[in-house]
Structure 1
Amino acid sequence: MLSLPGDPPGGRRAVAVWGIGVAVYFVAVVFRTSLGVAGLDAAARFHVDASALSTFSILQLLVYAGMQIPVGLLVDRLGAKKVLAIGAVLFTAGQLGFAFSSSYGAALASRALLGCGDAMTFISVLRLGARWFPARRGPLVAQLSGLAGMAGNLASTLVLARLLHSVGWTGAFAGSALAGVAVLALLLFLKDHPEGFAPEPLPHQGAAAVRRQIAAAWREPGTRLGMWVHFTTQFPAMVFLLLWGMPFLVQAQGLSRATAGDLLTLVVLSNMAVGLVYGQVIARRHEARLPLALGTAAATACLWALTLAYPGDHAPMWLLVVLCLVLGACGPASMIGFDFARPANPAQRQGTASGITNMGGFIASMTTLFAIGVLLDATGGDYAVAFCTVFVLQALGVGQILRLRGRAARRERERLVASRVETVHVPA
């Protein structure tokens, strides 16, 4: 990818400013995934079954997914700094509320508030990356943003799990909420864009103009392809890390909680390593986007099939390790969705398009979380049946990707040719 006229220069200041946004996203993911290591504790604290336990994460993701298009519009209108500040206030309040909740209803309300704040972070970070770095750095910056989120997942797995067993529920969740206060202070130093690269201010928009902006983003095949790539690749790891990985490894595979925690950590470490590789590959070979996404989906389906169908009561440790390594590639593969949506939309529609794309994986995760909880209750805890939901959602997503890939490729070529013609006619 070549630099385009008007590209921001990047550099150390860009890294510092973008790093502030990444820090907010890091804390949001710590809070989002905190239930993944506390699922069994939450079931005991609130006296709930598997379906009710899954409702925590489903509600959080429902709020997150439902907020994506409004957040995208807000980012396009207000800029990343203001939206990140609102998000940080909301997810910190949600984490504090969860710490002191003594009833199931209060805990649900706290997770919904947390999901609302969490929803405002990632799209804002993507916008910061687009404003501060040249376009050719886009794939790598997006992957690094996702990597920071997985670092938050790792912190949740390593730190919060230990806090739960040392200081208890309230101490662990209330103590972690202090990180939200810290990133709010950091936001004082954030700028939406470099000097001289301010975007054109958007005129006042009524409801009709907002609908037109959403419709224009949706009409682009690249936006829809990006959404389905995100849908197909993100949810297997999200469901595993967010809620059902720990119960599956402990109850279905007979592992200790410590060993299960190590395997969850392995998913996160694999994600961080694969994210660096995928970002570099796509930055150099843009045509590798779809093969990487489809290859990751196929590998995930194969490993889940082997694990669930393995003869005997438990899958061997080597197979569980390989499964976790492959699940680690799901997050980086989902980031490829933004690399389809970004070039398909002009700058003033980037937030909206990113919001549509980001909805995909969270809708799939929410659906799978609910289906697994219902099937576990219906089958008396048969994880092999419950986790077959993964194959259904992946088949739906792959079908849509194959349907849209040709149209998206043709449209992207047309835009590339048009941008080259425009570049040739830029006056000296």
Structure 2
Amino acid sequence: MSAEQVHDIGKRRAWLIWSVSLAVYILAVFHRSSLGVAGIIASERFDISATSLATFTVLQLVVYAGMQVPVGVLLDRYGSRTMLLCGLALMTVGQFGFAFAESFAAAVASRAVVGAGDAMVFVSVIRLVTVWFLVRQAPMVTQLTGLSGQLGAIAAAGPLSYLLHELGWTRAFALTSSVGVLLLVAVVVLVKDSPYRRSDVVAIKLRALAQSVRTVWGNPGTRLGMWSHFSSQFSATVFALLWGYPFLVQGLGWTAKGAATLLMAMTAWAVLSGLVLARLVSRLPYYRSWIVVGVVLAMVVPWTAVLLWPGAAPDWVVVVMAFATASGGPASMVGFDLARSFTPPHETGRANGLVNVGGFTASLLTMALIGMVLDLSASGGMDSYTLGDFKLAMAVQYLFWAVGVVQVLRYRRRGLAHLARLHPGSVEQMKAGQPFVHPGIGTEGV
């Protein structure tokens, strides 16, 4: 028997719940991005090298990526509201601890706690979008979620930079951590897991956990979504979260104000390009993975120009490179839309968690390798790195772009064959411009 629907889908209550959960995601992005402008200050505060500086963000993303599968399982079992509350609590505690950290070890531990809380937020919001909005609304709302979340990156690039200058490290980070307390109250009061009287959360027994994850992972659509996320997301994350600001200021000779302005402009461009991508994805569902590949190629070309340019590239070339890089964020959202075509509703938490692993795994590996290359090139700390050192380090991105594109094309073929075999007519439906929504079979992955 189907559950009784007690709230309208895709109407006022849905938008209210989405707005509150979106605010939590914006805060998560803010916390995640805060080292983008605080990196140089952190290197001085804790007297650390580039590799150690990268450890902050890398460990945070290791925790984030490592928790995606267990978070997906818990999300399918306990629902978005509980996971948002847990995520908020962890982020608030972690950022508050980071404000008062005096040692490198304490600061790293605090960022790990922030990463654990952050890991619970985005997939919880996407699950709310899946159950509270109509099928025709979901692709656009998913894109709006990813794009609006970048307001947190804008706040980290601009206002946080101002607060750090005016209030200092401790008071600035303590003040920003307090926002989580207000959102905890909002989630408790306003967010509901489902428009139905009986929620569709799934109680998975521990002994069945391995098999359930294996089923979802065995579905080529999950892997297609993950590799799409892998290849398109990492460059924007690496640039915004850690290495973009030092590359612009220390490497290319930009002013601190100019670098912060470009980071904010990248976010604005991500919003504009995301709206275009959302329309393309909804109109051309058959070509979604090709759209991702096209965005990756659009990033590779200007990055090649910047890295091969003799000396510092002209400002306009750097801006084109930055905007192309920013387009990778919206393109990575396509991975979740791809997974939705292959996954029944009660498995979306696990599928989205696995998809989300992709980009953040690529991001943390790229961040770590950039730091290692910089330290191998010049071991004298941040002040000793030249433009040539930064160019050599940034070139590690090509490895991940190449691997990601090859895997996207590989699993695109497998995914289409999977749909044609199990859901006759689905491929033709997508070629005609109509989205295919999984009918609910949950045991077809392996």
Query: Is this a same-fold pair by TM over 0.5?
Result: yes
Aligned to 2:433: none
Contact 1:230 1:337 survives alignment (8 Å): yes
* Higher mean C-alpha deviation, range 317-326 or range 364-373: 317-326
Aligned to 2:334: 336
Q: Does residue 286 in structure 1 map to residue 254 in structure 2?
A: no
Tell me the amino acid that sits aligned with residue 15 of structure 1.
W
Aligned Cα root-mean-square deviation (Å): 1.8
Aligned to 1:65: 65
Contact 1:68 1:356 survives alignment (8 Å): yes
Distance 1:416 1:8, change over 3 A: farther
* Higher mean C-alpha deviation, range 10-19 or range 46-55: 10-19
Distance 1:99 1:285, change over 3 A: same
Q: Does residue 92 in structure 1 map to residue 96 in structure 2?
A: no
Contact 2:91 2:114 survives alignment (8 Å): yes
Contact 2:341 2:437 survives alignment (8 Å): no
Distance 1:290 1:260, change over 3 A: same
Tell me the amino acid that sits aligned with residue 98 of structure 1.
F
Separation in structure 1 between the aligned mates of residue 201 and residue 405 of structure 2, nearest angstrom: 38
Q: Does residue 384 in structure 1 map to residue 382 in structure 2?
A: no
* 1:8 to partner: Cα distance: 6.7
Distance 1:216 1:42, change over 3 A: same
Alignment of 1:12-411 (within 5 A): 12-188=12-188, 189-196=190-197, 198-200=198-200, 202-206=202-206, 208-311=207-310, 313-380=311-378, 381=385, 382-411=389-418
Separation in structure 2 between the aligned mates of residue 237 and residue 77 of structure 1, nearest angstrom: 32
For residues 37-56 of structure 1, the C-alpha deviation after alignment (integer angstroms, 9 at most, x for no partner) is 10000000000010000000
Tell me the amino acid that sits aligned with residue 205 of structure 1.
K
Distance 1:416 1:336, change over 3 A: farther
Aligned to 2:444: none
Contact 1:64 1:115 survives alignment (8 Å): yes
Separation in structure 2 between the aligned mates of residue 44 and residue 204 of structure 1, nearest angstrom: 47
* 1:421 to partner: Cα distance: 12
Q: Percent identity?
A: 42
For residues 203-246 of structure 1, the C-alpha deviation after alignment (integer angstroms, 9 at most, x for no partner) is 4512x311111001011100001000000000001000000001
* 1:202 to partner: Cα distance: 2.8
Separation in structure 1 between the aligned mates of residue 239 and residue 171 of structure 2, nearest angstrom: 25
* 1:284 to partner: Cα distance: 2.2
For residues 167-216 of structure 1, the C-alpha deviation after alignment (integer angstroms, 9 at most, x for no partner) is 110111001111111111111211011145x444534512x311111001
TM-score (norm 1): 0.94
What SS does the aligned partner of 1:343 have? helix
For residues 41-96 of structure 1, the C-alpha deviation after alignment (integer angstroms, 9 at most, x for no partner) is 00000000100000000000000000000110011000000000000000010100
What count of residue pairs does the alignment treat as equivalent?
415
Tell me the amino acid that sits aligned with residue 389 of structure 1.
V
TM-score (norm 2): 0.90
Contact 1:8 1:134 survives alignment (8 Å): no
* 1:417 to partner: Cα distance: 4.2
Tell me the amino acid that sits aligned with residue 337 of structure 1.
G
| Structure 1 portions without partners, runs of 5+ | 1-5, 424-428
Aligned to 1:426: none
Higher helix share: 1
Tell me the amino acid that sits aligned with residue 347 of structure 2.
R
Aligned to 1:3: none
